[in-house]
Every structure is written in C-alpha cells, then in structure tokens.
C-alpha cells in the first residue's frame, strides 16, 4: 500500500462524520431563508413576550421555565436562545436575552424517540435541559412533574398536528389549569391562506380543515418526481386567525381561566418551502430559491428572479387586495434597486445622475427601504474588495424585503406559518 493510500481512511472517516459535507445555505432544512428570515422573524416577534415573561418570573425571584411542545431535536431551544435585546449597541458583545442566569429550565417533549435521542446527544450534558417522550394530544400536562412553566412554546407548524379542534382546545385548557399565575403559550400553525397552497383556499374552512402536506421540498425537481411514491405525507391543520381565536376562546370557556390571544404573526408570506415545488399552486414561483441565493455569500443573483407575479384567485377579494399590495411594494423595491445599480458609477463613487424621486404616496415602509438601499449602494458600491454586490448589497436588499414583509403582514394566515402568542392570567377574570 502506498503512503497516499494509507492516508485515505482519514478522509473516509471525515466524510462519514458528516462534517466534511459541502454546506450551503441554498438548500436543506437550515437554508438561508430559515436562518435569516424564519428563525430571525420569529425571534423578533417573540422578543417582547419573552422579555415580559423573564421580567414577571424575576419579579417573583424565579428564573424562566420553558416547555417546548414537539421539540424535535431541540430546534426551539436554538431559536429562543438566539433572541437578542432590541437595542444592543454596536460595542456590546453579550446581546442574548436568555443568558445562563436567566434560564431556569428548558424541557422538550416529543413523540419521536429518534429526534429526542438527537436532542439528548446535543444537549444531554446541560443540567438545565430535560427531554421526555410524550404525546401532547393525550392529557400529559396533568401528569407532568416539572411544571408549571412561564413559556409554553411550539415552533414551525407543530400546532397543526392537532388535527381536530378538541385536541388543541384541551391542551390549552390543561396548560391554563397547570399555570400558577401567568404564562404565555406560543401556538405555531400552518397558515390557511398561504400563496403556496392557492389551490386549497376555501371560504368554507370547516370543509377542508387539514391538508395532505407532502414533504417533497427536500429534493430537487427530478428527484422529487422519481421518489413521488415514497415521499412522506403529513396530515396538517390549516389555520386562519378566526379559527385560532375560536380555539383560544373555547379553551378559556372550558377552563374558566383568562386565556387571550395577544398577537398573531404571518411568517414566510411569499417564501415558504412549497413556493419552489408548485405542489399546491401552479402559479407559484421559486422565490425561496431566489431569496436563498440573495443571502448566499460570494454568489451573484439575478434580481429579476425576485419579481413576483401574483395571480389572483376569484372569490377571494380580501386576499387578492392584500397580496396585490404586498407584491406591488416588493416589486417596486426590487426594480428601484436594479435601477440604482445601473445608475451607479463605481469609478467616481456616485450615481451618474440623481436616482428617481421616491413618491410620497408610497407606503412608509417602502419609502424607508428605498431610501436605505440608495444609501447602501452609494456607501459600498465602489468598495471593490470583498464582492460588495454579492456580500453587502444583495443581503441588504434581502433584509429590506424582509422588513417590508414583516411590517405589512397582518397575522391572518397568509404566511406558510401563523404564529399566535396566547396569554394566560389566573389573576384576571375570564372574558
């Protein structure tokens, strides 16, 4: 055996460990949209509630206790522990809200033993973290020995596993009964009116409660077709704000305890995973792939791939109006940036002529983002070093579009996910 051959097992070992795999943010569970949009948007939305829960626990000389319902491999812990203080200054290094002295307990429960094993493999050594196999549709709160908790958390569509309303109502009522003073519950469903599943929109939600959710997006187009018969299917509840409000008020009525939705949030409005598959909407465009590309370092994206052509659906004027307004704002920003890039003179470090004025009739958020992009291109367009378009301007356009989306969302079930924060307060009279 040659010297080189002798050394080959070291490479094979590295490949088997998975650590040698080519990592990119363009595909996979932790693609760029998940990292920079979905996780971050959820963090921004939850931040004031987590802060309030920390403050309330601290006022009673307690640290924060969290129960993650359907924790999987503890992704929720990673999401929550990444929440940052809103106004951290540039010089600050410690910016996370859930620092070691703030967290008392994180308990994750799930029905899937393999995922729990994975979670234990990562966090089993942390004495503040517990994992338990539990069916959350089965009255487990009554026998749970580690509660009560301040934050009952769920993420990425987990509440859609409650296929009938009874199961969700019961769980919320059980949580309310096991809460000592106050707590928050984060309910995370699939949005009923996501553009991804335009085919499934209905004005009679009672007739189509659950969708057949095919996990096809993990493969590219050809592989998807080859594997079609062996793809995994999940039966998942679609949720609008009205339906969620009914479930929440019913849980209050049943438990006789104050339970109220504080806020709803639409996550991933045009960027859900099924945009790229067209599985449930023949008009869907691969916008997730485009957004993944825009946030990928060292990669130049054609900005035309971001232009949305929203196709209205007859019989849904409230959705058509909403989506059309959003699409117009989004496209206006993208087209403005294309124009700014055309106008920019790198050698002389300025625009060749004054960019077109921003009409005062545009929505405030759009005007702000157009102004910001104008300043960014002017500030770094000449930089040369470090690929300013790929590594600064494109990601900043991604953040500007994210801001537009977040500030124009209405928490009505128009995103891939509908997230609701529910407050339970035993000191208040039920409404």
Ligand X SMILES: C[S@@+](CC[C@H](N)C(=O)[O-])C[C@H]1O[C@@H](n2cnc3c(N)ncnc32)[C@H](O)[C@@H]1O
Question: With respect to ligand X, which residue has the nearer C-beta, 135 or 345?
Answer: 135
Question: With respect to ligand X, which residue has the nearer C-beta, 42 or 332?
Answer: 42
Please tell me whether the peptide bond between 148 and the residue prior to it is cis, using omega within 30 degrees of 0: yes
Our measurement of the distance from residue 225's CA atom to the centroid of its chain's CA atoms, rounded to an integer in Å, reads: 27
Question: With respect to ligand X, which residue has the nearer C-beta, 236 or 397?
Answer: 236
Q: Are 155 and 83 in contact (CB under 8 A)?
A: no
- Closest C-alpha to 168, from 261, 296, 285: 261
Question: With respect to ligand X, which residue has the nearer C-beta, 70 or 398?
Answer: 70
Question: C-beta of 133: minimal distance to ligand X in Å?
Answer: 8
Question: C-beta of 262: minimal distance to ligand X in Å?
Answer: 21
Residue nearest to ligand X as judged by C-beta position: 70
Q: Which pair of tokens denotes residue 368?
A: 């702000």
Question: C-beta of 131: minimal distance to ligand X in Å?
Answer: 12
Question: C-beta of 280: minimal distance to ligand X in Å?
Answer: 17
Question: C-beta of 68: minimal distance to ligand X in Å?
Answer: 7
Question: With respect to ligand X, which residue has the nearer C-beta, 111 or 231?
Answer: 111
Q: Are 243 and 215 in contact (CB under 8 A)?
A: no
Question: With respect to ligand X, which residue has the nearer C-beta, 155 or 293?
Answer: 155
Q: Which residue has the tokens 């802060």?
A: 51
Burial profile 293-320: b = 16 or more Cβ within 10 angstroms, e = fewer: bbbbeebebebeebbbebeebeebeebe
Our measurement of the distance from residue 64's CA atom to the centroid of its chain's CA atoms, rounded to an integer in Å, reads: 23
Q: Are 99 and 58 in contact (CB under 8 A)?
A: no
Question: With respect to ligand X, which residue has the nearer C-beta, 398 or 417?
Answer: 417
Question: C-beta of 134: minimal distance to ligand X in Å?
Answer: 6
Question: C-beta of 335: minimal distance to ligand X in Å?
Answer: 35
Q: Which residues bind ligand X (CB under 6 A)?
A: 70-72, 75-76, 110-112, 115, 134-137, 155-158, 161
Q: Are 96 and 83 in contact (CB under 8 A)?
A: yes
Question: C-beta of 108: minimal distance to ligand X in Å?
Answer: 8
Side-chain-facing half-sphere of 348: CA atoms under 13 Å: 7
Check the CA dihedral 219-222-224-230 and report its sign: negative
Longest dimension (CA), the chain: 80
Q: Quick one: how many helices (H) and strands (E) in the chain?
A: 13, 11
Question: With respect to ligand X, which residue has the nearer C-beta, 69 or 370?
Answer: 69
Distances (CA, A) of 313 to 190, 199, 283, 320, 354: 20, 9, 11, 7, 40
């Amino acid at each position: 055996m040659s010297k080189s051959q002798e050394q080959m097992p070291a490479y094979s070992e590295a490949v088997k460990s998975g650590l040698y795999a080519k990592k990119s943010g363009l595909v996979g569970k932790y693609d760029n949209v998940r990292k920079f949009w979905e996780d971050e948007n959820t963090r921004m939305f939850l931040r004031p509630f987590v802060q309030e829960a920390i403050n309330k626990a601290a006022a009673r000389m307690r640290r924060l206790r969290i129960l993650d319902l359907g924790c999987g491999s503890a992704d929720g812990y990673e999401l929550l522990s990444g929440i940052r203080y809103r106004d951290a200054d540039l010089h600050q290094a410690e910016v996370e809200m859930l620092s070691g002295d703030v967290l008392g307990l994180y308990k994750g429960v799930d029905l899937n033993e393999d995922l729990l094993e994975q979670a234990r493999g990562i966090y089993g050594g942390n004495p503040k973290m517990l994992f338990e196999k539990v069916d959350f549709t089965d009255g487990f709160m009554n026998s749970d020995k580690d509660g009560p908790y301040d934050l009952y958390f769920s993420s990425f569509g987990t509440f859609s596993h409650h296929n009938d309303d009874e199961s969700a109502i019961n769980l919320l009522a059980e949580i309310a009964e096991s809460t000592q003073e106050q707590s928050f519950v984060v309910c995370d469903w699939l949005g009923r009116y996501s553009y991804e599943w335009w085919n499934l929109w209905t004005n009679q939600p009672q007739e189509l409660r659950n969708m057949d959710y095919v996990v096809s997006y993990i493969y590219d187009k050809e592989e998807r077709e080859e594997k079609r018969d062996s793809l995994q299917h999940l039966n998942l509840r679609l949720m609008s704000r009205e339906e969620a409000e009914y479930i929440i008020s019913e849980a209050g009525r049943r438990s006789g305890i104050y339970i109220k939705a504080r806020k709803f949030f639409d996550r991933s409005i045009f960027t859900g995973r099924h945009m790229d598959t067209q599985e449930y909407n023949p008009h869907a465009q691969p916008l997730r792939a485009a957004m993944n590309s825009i946030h990928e370092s060292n990669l130049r994206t054609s900005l035309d791939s971001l232009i949305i052509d929203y196709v209205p659906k007859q019989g849904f004027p409230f959705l058509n109006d909403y989506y059309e307004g959003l699409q117009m704002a989004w496209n206006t920003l993208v087209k403005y940036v294309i124009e700014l890039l055309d106008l920019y003179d790198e050698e002389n470090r300025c625009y060749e002529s004054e960019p077109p004025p921003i009409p005062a009739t545009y929505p405030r958020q759009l005007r702000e983002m157009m102004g910001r992009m104008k300043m960014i291109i002017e500030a770094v367009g000449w930089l040369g070093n470090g690929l300013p378009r790929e590594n600064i301007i494109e990601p900043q356009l991604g953040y500007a579009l994210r801001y537009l989306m977040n500030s124009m969302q209405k928490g009505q079930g128009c995103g891939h996910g509908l997230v609701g924060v529910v407050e339970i307060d035993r000191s208040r009279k039920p409404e």
